Structure 1
């Protein structure tokens, strides 16, 4: 409420002059008068008079109170200070300075190894397949194209000098149903006499250089072919021997047959 409204209230209170004595006497007369009996209908008519008298008295008291309030100076009271609750200190969660260790890599998927392909066992080696003597060098082996029914024994011969005499002998042990199916050499066919016969429990292949012929220096091949009993044939008892003559004299080499490569 500002000063202007307070001034208006004071002026209105000073201008009003209620007749308090008259109003009080009227109320007292109404309360002290003899009771008059009336019918219920008449009693209802007298009620407004009493009600008006009571309202008038209340109004007078209220007006007087308003006038007193208007005269008394009014000082506005400042609103009660409210203190906002202090914000709670935020809870600090410690942050790890180091990075988390990397997760372990997934274990690699286990792959089953492919099923092994059955292979045919190779024949066993009889003795040292290589030999060297003078100008001669030799090596015996079982041909890698051999099967469980048929085989070929190979002999590689090298000579550092021309040979004027040469005899090559291959022995294939009789391990069961061993039968000749052929032979060949890299030297001219007409230069050799070739025989195949069984002797001492073996099939013997022999190449003999004809008189007057010469084997040139270099590498030469001799091969014996044969059937045998079904299965992997052991060549442990097979062997070869080479006898030769050159300008440097006589020389011989011998050995067995290694599994084919």
Structure 2
């Protein structure tokens, strides 16, 4: 059996897609029987040995080809995704709410230094930066022992305001409200509430509030 014939036999078997060793051997034996008379001498035994070696190689090649087809030959294995660290960006800390800034005026509260154990004055100083067309000021004095209203005053024209003093079971309330159509020019102004009191009165219990144009407001304690 010539080499080109053996090659054709191997190619035919490979085309079938599944290695069958017995079938390969049968085809090789048949081809050898046609060209090699029996009995064979030892000098002619090498073709059979060569055929056996070629058949073994053919089986291995075909088996490898089938396995390659099953795993998807000519396809590179998918690359493993690069390891990436994902971190959720930390949210910035929420800033505490800022108190509204009143750019039209500022107010400070204090207890008059001439106050004593039996009489006191709670004072507000209002610094106006721009003309105001509305203003409402309130001072509330806690009614501890012997607290009673005596008087109130302001450095602005009293005729421009509606002024009142009210007494309840828990406090004395002083109010100044700018009348419609009146204005307050820029400057520094004082509003004060005077009252009698007992030795145990603590002005830190007293409170104030200021509201102006656009409902801008401020408040606190003395």
TM-score range for the pair, normalised by the shorter chain length: 0.5 to 0.7
Mapped contact 1:137–1:159 kept (Cα < 8 A): yes
Mapped contact 1:135–1:161 kept (Cα < 8 A): yes
Mapped contact 1:192–1:209 kept (Cα < 8 A): yes
Q: Which has the higher contact order (CA 8 A, sep 6+)?
A: 1
CA distance in 2, matches of 1:232, 1:202: 15
Structure 1 runs not aligned, ≥5 long: 1-130
Which residue of the partner structure matches residue 113 of structure 2? 144
1:164-212 CA distances to partner (integer Å, 9 max, x unpaired)? 0100000001111211110100000101111101246110000011111
Q: Does 1:162 align with 2:131?
A: yes
Which residue of the partner structure matches residue 223 of structure 1? 192
SS in structure 1 opposite 2:205?
coil
Matches within 5 A, 1:9-48: none
CA distance in 1, matches of 2:217, 2:169: 22
Runs of 4+ off more than 4 Å: none
Q: Does 1:235 align with 2:203?
A: yes
CA distance in 1, matches of 2:153, 2:130: 23
Which residue of the partner structure matches residue 158 of structure 2? 189
Which residue of the partner structure matches residue 16 of structure 1? none
CA distance in 1, matches of 2:169, 2:135: 23
Matches within 5 A, 1:73-222: 133-199=102-168, 201-222=170-191
Q: Report the CA distance between 1:132 and its aligned residue.
A: 5.5
1:48-88 CA distances to partner (integer Å, 9 max, x unpaired)? xxxxxxxxxxxxxxxxxxxxxxxxxxxxxxxxxxxxxxxxx
CA distance in 2, matches of 1:238, 1:146: 14
Mapped contact 1:145–1:151 kept (Cα < 8 A): yes
CA distance in 2, matches of 1:133, 1:255: 15
Q: Report the CA distance between 1:254 and its aligned residue.
A: 1.0
CA distance in 1, matches of 2:194, 2:110: 12
1:199-258 CA distances to partner (integer Å, 9 max, x unpaired)? 4611000001111100111111000000012x252112111100001xxx431111111x
SS in structure 1 opposite 2:216?
strand
SS in structure 1 opposite 2:145?
coil
Alignment CA distance shift 1:132-1:158 (3 Å) = farther
CA distance in 2, matches of 1:159, 1:250: 15
Structure 2 runs not aligned, ≥5 long: 1-99
